Amino acid sequence: MPTAGWCGCTVAERARRPVRHLLCAAAVALLALTGCGGDDDGGAPPPPAPVPDSALPANQRIETLDTAQLKIGATAAVAGRAVSRLPAAAEVARVTLPPLLQAKQREADDDDGQPLRVGIARAVDAAATPEALAGLLHWQLLPDGAWVAAVDVVADGAQALRLGLLVQQLPDGAWLRFRGAGDIGMVGVSAAELAQRRERSVRAGADGEAARLYWSPVIAGSVARLELELPAGADPAQLGLALPRLSHFSQALAQAPAKADDPSVGAAGTCNQDVMCRPDWEVQSRAVARVFFTRSDGSSYLCSGTLLNDVRGSQAPFFLTAGHCIASQVEASSVLTHWFFRTASCNGTAIDGRETVLDGGADLLLADRASDSALLRLRRAPPAGVAYAGSYFGQDVGVAAPVVGIHHPAGDLQKVSVGTVSGHANCENNTCRVASANDGHVLRVHWNAGTTEPGSSGSALFATLQGRHYVVGSLNGGDASCKNPDGVDYYGRFDRAFNAGMRDWLAAQ
C-alpha cells in the first residue's frame, strides 16, 4: 500500500488522479506560506496549562439552567398565533400543483432504499407574480373596514408545506396568516415583522429577491391556506405580494411524535455512542437540537446546535450553531429545531416521548467568522423540559483538556463523543493552520470514543470545570469519522465568539 505524503497524495495517486495532484500542489504552496509542516503547534509558544479548578471567576462563565428543575416550565406562549377573519361564505381560490411525477421530480417510491425527500422546492406558477396572485384573491370588506382574502395551495402527497412569499409592497397593519389541514388556529405574521425581517436580511448581506423572500412556518398536510388582511383604508390593488414557490415535505417534519421510519434514524456510523448511555451528560443533552434549514436556492440542510443560558437566566432562546450552517438571516428565518430527538433509554429503540419540532425560524444575532460560530435567537420558545447550557469564556481550556461533544451525526438520534483537546488552529480562506493558544480561534480535538459526521456541524463542545459542564466550542468540521478514528475535528472557540460580540446578548444585564 502506498505511503501517504502531504495531503495523502501519493505518486501513484497523482498519476491516477490529476485533479487531486493539482490540489495537493496547491496545498504544498499553502503550507509553504503558512509554515505548515512542523509537529503539532509548529514551534509556537506552548499553550497554557489547563485551567485549575480554583481559577474560575464568576465573570468567566454562565451556569446551566435546567428548566426541568424549575417549578414553572420553560414553555412560553407561542408567538404569532392568530385567528382567521375570513367570512365563512367567502370564496377561496384553490391552486393545485401537479403531482410530483408530472412535475418531473425523479420519483422513487421503491422500497429498497431510504430516499431522503425533505423539503422539495416546487414552483407555484399560478401565483408566481403579484399580478397572478392578485387575480386569485376575492377580497371581502369587513365591518371595521379591513379587507381579507385567502388562497389555498394544494400539493397532493405532501405531509407538510412551507410557502415562499415574495413581499414587495405590503401596507402597514397588514397581516399574513397560515393554516394547514386540521389546524385549529392559524399562525400569523404582521407587515411590521416582515419589514423587520427584511431589514435584518439586508443587514446580513441578502439583497434582491433573497431579502424579500419569506418562508412561512411549516404547515401540516397537503393543503396550505394563505389568508391576507389589509387594514381599513388600504387599497387591495396596491398589494405587492407573490407566491412563486413552496417547499414540499414528503416527511412530516413538524409533526410529533418521532417516526421510527425517519430515514435519519440509524444513519450514523456504528462507532457513534447513544447520548442516553451517559447520564452525567443528560442535562446538556436536553440543550442540544437537530437543526433543519433551507438556503435561498431551495437546498435543505441539517446541522446541530445548542441552547445557551444568559447571565440573567432569562430563558431567551439563544442558540449556538456553526457560521457555515446559518450564514444569513435568510437561512435563519427558515430554521426548524428538533428537540429531544434521542432514545428514551440507553441504546433503546423507543424515542423520547417529549420529541418536538419547533418552527417559526430564528433571528441571526451574530456570526463570528474567525471561529465559524453563529448565535441565533429562536422566534418561538423551546418545549418544556429543555436545558439552557452553561458556557465558559475565560482562559483557554488548554491542551489535553477532556471534552465531550453532543450532536446529531447524519441527522441521527443524538450521540455523544468523548475526547481531548490536542491543539489550536486558525481557519481562513479555505486554509487551516496551527496556532498557539494565544492566537488560535479554533480548538483541535481527538476522539477517544465516538466521532462526528455531516449533521454534527454547529454542535457544542463541552468541558468540565469544577465539576460542572460548560460549552467551550462549536463544531466547524474535520476529518474524524468512524472510518478515520485518528482524525481530528475543529471547534470554534466559544471564548473567541463571546468576546467577538456574543457577550452583548448573553451577558446583557
Partner 1 sequence: MLVWMFRSMGALAPAALVAACNSAAGMAQGAVAASDVQVERSDAPPRNRCDASAAAAAVGASWEPALLGRVLADAGADEARMLHEDSLITKEYKQGRVNVVVDADGRVVRVYCG
Q: Which residue has the cell 421530480?
A: 105
301 Cβ contact list (under 8 Å, min separation 6): 292, 293, 294, 295, 325
| Contact with partner 1 (CB under 8 A) among 196, 466, 484, 499 | 484
Whose cell is 495532484? That residue is 21
429 binds partner 1 (CB under 8 A): yes
Q: Which is nearer to partner 1, 65 or 364 (CB)?
A: 364
Rg value, the chain, Cα: 25
Please state whether beta strands 468-478 and 488-493 pair in parallel, antiparallel, or not at all (unpaired). antiparallel
The residues, ordered by sequence, that sit 6+ positions from 243 with a Cβ below 8 Å of its Cβ are 124, 127, 128, 133, 151, 153, 163, 164, 165, 166, 226
| 372 is an active site residue | yes
How many CA atoms are closer than 13 Å to the CA of 40, on its beta-carbon side? 14
Q: Which of residues 306-325 bind partner 1 (CB under 8 A)?
A: 322-325
Query: Scanning residues 203 to 232, which ones bind partner 1 (CB under 8 A)?
Result: none
User: Residue 297 burial by CB count (10 A; 0-12/13-18/19+): exposed, middle or buried?
Assistant: exposed
Question: Which residues on adjacent β-strands are paired with residue 426?
Answer: 433
**Using rule CB under 8 A, residue 481 touches partner 1:** yes
Task: Compose the 344-383 pattern: x for residues touching partner 1 by CB under 8 A, - for all others.
Answer: -------------------------xxxx-----------
Q: Confirm or reject binding of residue 8 to partner 1 (CB under 8 A).
A: yes
Which one of the listed residues 216, 296, 436, 457 is annotated catalytic?
Answer: 457
Instruction: Tell me if 4 contacts partner 1 by CB under 8 A.
Output: yes
- Nearest residue (CB) to partner 1, 48 versus 487: 487
Least distance from partner 1 to the Cβ atom of residue 264, Å: 9
143 binds partner 1 (CB under 8 A): no
Closer Cβ to partner 1, 164 or 180, answer by number: 164
Nearer to partner 1, 55 or 108 (CB): 108
- Residue 302 CA to residue 454 CA, distance in Å, equals 8
String marking each residue 153-192 x if it binds partner 1 according to CB under 8 A: ----------------------------------------
Please, which residue, 360 or 492, has the CB nearer to partner 1?
Answer: 492
424: annotated active-site residue: no
Q: Identify any residues that bridge with 245 across adjacent strands, giving them in sequence order.
A: 123, 164
Q: In terms of Cα–Cα distance, which of 399, 365, 392 is closest to 473?
A: 392
| Residue 244 interacting with partner 1 (CB under 8 A) | no
**Contact pattern for partner 1 over residues 435 through 474, marking x by CB under 8 A:** ---------x-------xxxxxxx----------------
Three-state SS for 233? coil
Q: Which of residues 269-298 bind partner 1 (CB under 8 A)?
A: 297-298
C-alpha cell at 194: 416582515
Determine if 14 is a binding residue for partner 1 (CB under 8 A).
Answer: no
The answer to whether the beta carbons of residues 21 and 9 sit under 8 Å apart is yes
Pick the closest to residue 325 from 432, 477, 213, 203 (CA basis). 477
407 is annotated as an active-site residue: no
Least Å from the CB of residue 208 to partner 1 = 16
Report 66-125 residues binding partner 1 (CB under 8 A): 105-106, 108, 110, 112-123
Binding of residue 47 to partner 1 (CB under 8 A): no
The residues annotated with a catalytic role in the active site are 324, 372, 457
